[in-house]
A and B are shown apart, each in its own frame.
Chain A
Amino acid sequence: MTKEVTANNRSLRVENLSKSFGGVKALEGVSFEVKPGTIHAIIGPNGAGKTTLLNCISGQYKPEGSIRYGDIELTDVVPHKRIGLGIARSFQHINVFTGQTVLENMMVGGHHRLRGGLLAQSLFWGRWGAQEEENRLYQQALDLLEKLGMEKLAHLPAGELSYGKQKKVEIGRALMARPQLLLLDEPMAGMARGEKQELADWITLLNRDEGLTILMIEHDMGIVQALAGESVVLDFGRKIAEGPPSEVVNDPRVRKAYIGEA
């Protein structure tokens, strides 16, 4: 497991994935593939297991079945090392470090790229210190904030920003890790229309210009159809359809799951 990020050519293959909580089967035998460089949507009604699926990929849950990223079996990789493979995420409920400034949030996001352990990094100065690397990280964080149009907010506590801005901080934090696969859990939920459009444009840009693979949960079908080339539909923990969003919305099983239409 190296920290070097290689060219983005790894596909994510979820095979026969199951996860139960007590007697509740949150996921049951789900399989699909996310091709490198694509935007892939996970859709489905509330309680379908979408977030559970994302949590299995990011390592928060330990599922049965297999998740292969390139030729690596992800279920064998401890959660905190998955970012080293290039997998970063944002959360459904805002999960910024509230007491820390926006800039500090960003710097923690880039943390895994620093050499040395926590002990070496506690020495801010001196030969073994991480001063130079930290300065670089600081600069990268500022650059990214500028890209996000948030450089003026750099020194404000992240917890005091608006909902939409906090969501952006969270995604920015994930990007600081220089991921190749970005997992987004309802990135646009609770955003105003203008903010949504801005974020959508931005996701397109990340995908097109930086070749970032994006796997996102999103309820707004308009957004999904505009952004995603592929999608997988879950209902009660099972996959009920997959394919381009414009096709799956017309799938009778999907219509039934969403609006009870026969």
Chain B
Amino acid sequence: MDYFLGLLINGILVGAIDSMVALGFVLIYKASNVLNFAQGELLMIGAYICLELVFQLQIGIIGAFAITLIIMSIMALLIERLVLRRMMGSPVMSVVMVTIGIGIILRSIVLMVWGPITLHFPTVVEDVPIDLGVVRVSVVYIYSFLVSLMFMIFFALFFRFSQTGLVMRATASSQVAARSVGVPLHRVFALAWVVAAVVSAAGGVITGNIAGLTPELSAYGVRVFPAVILGGLDSIVGTTIAGVLIGVMEELGGGYLRDLTGLSGLGPVLPFIVLIVILWVRPQGLMGSKQVERL
């Protein structure tokens, strides 16, 4: 039982980060119908930028993190303005290819500047385990969880209560109707990219702090897919819940499957098996809207 609870708690802690990163993906999709395959790369480059700022400016992680978010926002605006704005109205597949291209460019930049080796953030918090009764959890995970939670609460409030959030939700619901009441769609798209870049970078800095930085961090973009699909692709609430569920599945799967088979590393596979099953039985996910073609 303790073993189960331990895995469960770990899963929730890790899943919260997934939720946050998936939020960025869903947001861009909801606002502008773009499937952003460069989400993982945004996460990766955010982590590297933060690392560089920590070493170059010697300002401590919090200051560096704040500056990183600003830099990432500007980068998101540039990507949206220079690349994706021109793709408006293009077939979905073309836009997907372009985002994959952006991802490759970002990954190459990281390889050129920082190389393929694993880099580490200077230790921010001493990695002392905290006893949660049933399980001892590394304090880094607790901080990560809290930061992710903070970001998600912030954006939940933003979407719920600010006029801009209202307009962004309206745009997600119907672009045509939003435009008819004077919503500048391109601004909404740009803002969605900024939010996505911010949550990605936050995710990158957090995971970078836990596991170190390699270009492999970009694989995180693929990692959040099961969460996005389980959540229903276009549901922010659904994705948040799904992110945590996927994290839990990964931990439970990893733990029990290892005991069962003697093979470690099966954890990350489980969410994808679940992904396939979802696509069979409930393609619209937990809370996504059913696709209805109307002519």
Contact = CB atoms under 8 A, between A and B. Distances in A.
Interface of A: 58-60, 79-84, 88-89, 91, 93, 95-100, 104-105, 107-109, 111-112, 114, 117-119, 121-124, 130, 134, 170, 173-174, 176-177
Contact of A122 (B164, B169, B177): B164
Nearest to B185: A80
Given A58-B180, A89-B180, A91-B180, 6 more contacts: A80-B183, A84-B182, A100-B166, A104-B166, A109-B181, A121-B167
A178 B182 CA distance: 12
12 contacts: A60-B179, A81-B182, A82-B182, A83-B181, A91-B177, A95-B174, A97-B170, A99-B173, A118-B191, A121-B163, A122-B163, A122-B165
Nearest to A89: B180
Given A97-B169, A104-B166, A121-B163, A112 B181 contact: yes
Interface of B: 158, 161-167, 169-170, 173-174, 176-185, 187-188, 191, 294
A114 B188 CA distance: 16
A-B pairs, 7 with minimum CB distance: A112-B182, A83-B182, A122-B164, A97-B173, A121-B163, A95-B177, A108-B170
A79 B179 contact: yes
A130 B163 contact: yes
Nearest to B188: A118
Interface of B is mostly: helix
Contacts of B169: 97, 99-100, 104
B166 A108 contact: yes
A111 B173 contact: no
A14 B188 CA distance: 31
A84 B187 CA distance: 17
Given A122-B162, A124-B161, A100 B173 contact: yes
B181 A177 contact: yes
A174 B174 contact: no
Nearest to A93: B294
B173 A98 contact: yes
Contacts of B162: 121-124
A118 B174 contact: no
A62 to B, nearest CB: 11
A107 B170 CA distance: 10
A108 B164 CA distance: 9
Contacts of A109: 181
Nearest to B161: A124
Contacts of B167: 108, 111, 118, 121
A16 B169 CA distance: 38
B180 A83 contact: yes
A80 B181 CA distance: 7
A108 to B, nearest CB: 4
B180 A88 contact: yes
A118 B165 CA distance: 9
Nearest to A176: B181
B179 A80 contact: yes
B173 A80 contact: no
A225 to B, nearest CB: 28
A256 B170 CA distance: 43
B174 A60 contact: no
A81 B163 CA distance: 18
Nearest to B157: A124
B188 to A, nearest CB: 7
Nearest to A84: B182
A96 B135 CA distance: 49
B176 A91 contact: yes
A240 B161 CA distance: 50
Contact of A111 (B182, B185, B294): B182
A107 to B, nearest CB: 6
Contacts of A121: 162-164, 167
B179 A97 contact: no
B294 A80 contact: no
B176 A60 contact: yes
